[in-house]
Amino acid sequence: MKGSRCLHQLKSLRLLSHAGRRLPPAAAAAGDNGALFRLHSSSLLGGSQCPQREVLRHFHSSPARTKSQPARFVQEEDKTRDKSLVAHDDLFEQVAKETKTKATFNKVIDVYTKRDIRRRGHVEFIYAALKKMPEFGVEKDLTVYNKLLDVFPKEVFVPQNFIQRMFNHYPRQQECGVQLLEQMESYGIMPNTETKVLLVQIFGEKTHPMRKYQRIMYWFPKFMHANPFPIPKQLPEDPVDLARFSLTRMANDWDAKVTVYQLPCTDITDSGAEVTLPHIVGIQSPSQMEALAKHNPCRPVFVEGPFPLWMRKTCVYYYVLRADPAPPEEKIEEPYDPERCFMYPLQLDLDLDRDLGDDESFDVEDLDDGPVFAMCMTSQGDQATLNQWISGLQQSNPILGQIPTLFRLGAGPRELQGVGDTDSASGTWFSSHAHKEEADPGEDAEAVVEEEPRRSQGVKQ
Interface residues with another protein (CB under 8 A) are: 190, 192, 217, 220-221, 224-225, 254, 337, 339-352, 358, 360
State which residue, 46 or 232, has the beta carbon closest to another protein: 232
Residue ranges of alpha helices (H) inside 116-192 are: 122-136, 142-149, 162-166, 171-186
Peptide bond into 306 cis (omega under 30): yes
Alpha-carbon distance 201 to 17, whole Å? 14
DSSP state of 48: G
Q: Amino acid identity, residue 224?
A: M
State which residue, 225 or 313, has the beta carbon closest to another protein: 225
What is the smallest separation between the CB atom of 136 and another protein, expressed in angstroms?
25
The answer to whether the beta carbons of residues 198 and 13 sit under 8 Å apart is no
Q: How far is Cα of residue 446 from the mean position of the Cα atoms in its chain?
A: 47
State which residue, 167 or 344, has the beta carbon closest to another protein: 344
**Sign of torsion, CA 89 91 94 95?**
negative
The answer to whether the beta carbons of residues 414 and 305 sit under 8 Å apart is no
State which residue, 219 or 430, has the beta carbon closest to another protein: 219
Supply φ then ψ for residue 396, to 5 degrees: -95, -15
What is the smallest separation between the CB atom of 254 and another protein, expressed in angstroms?
6
Alpha-carbon distance 436 to 407, whole Å? 10
State which residue, 162 or 342, has the beta carbon closest to another protein: 342
Alpha-carbon distance 383 to 415, whole Å? 16
State which residue, 346 or 419, has the beta carbon closest to another protein: 346
For residue 102, what is the enclosing H or E element?
helix 102-115
What is the smallest separation between the CB atom of 427 and another protein, expressed in angstroms?
37
The answer to whether the beta carbons of residues 301 and 321 sit under 8 Å apart is yes
State which residue, 344 or 362, has the beta carbon closest to another protein: 344
What is the smallest separation between the CB atom of 350 and another protein, expressed in angstroms?
4
What is the smallest separation between the CB atom of 215 and another protein, expressed in angstroms?
13
What is the smallest separation between the CB atom of 178 and another protein, expressed in angstroms?
20
| Helices 171-186 + 208-224 axis angle, to 10 | 10
Closest CA to 87 of 124, 52, 116: 124
Give me the residues paired with residue 301 across strands. Answer: 323, 405
What is the smallest separation between the CB atom of 349 and another protein, expressed in angstroms?
6
Closest CA to 320 of 414, 228, 233, 389: 389
Supply φ then ψ for residue 238, to 5 degrees: -65, 125
State which residue, 109 or 250, has the beta carbon closest to another protein: 250
State which residue, 103 or 224, has the beta carbon closest to another protein: 224
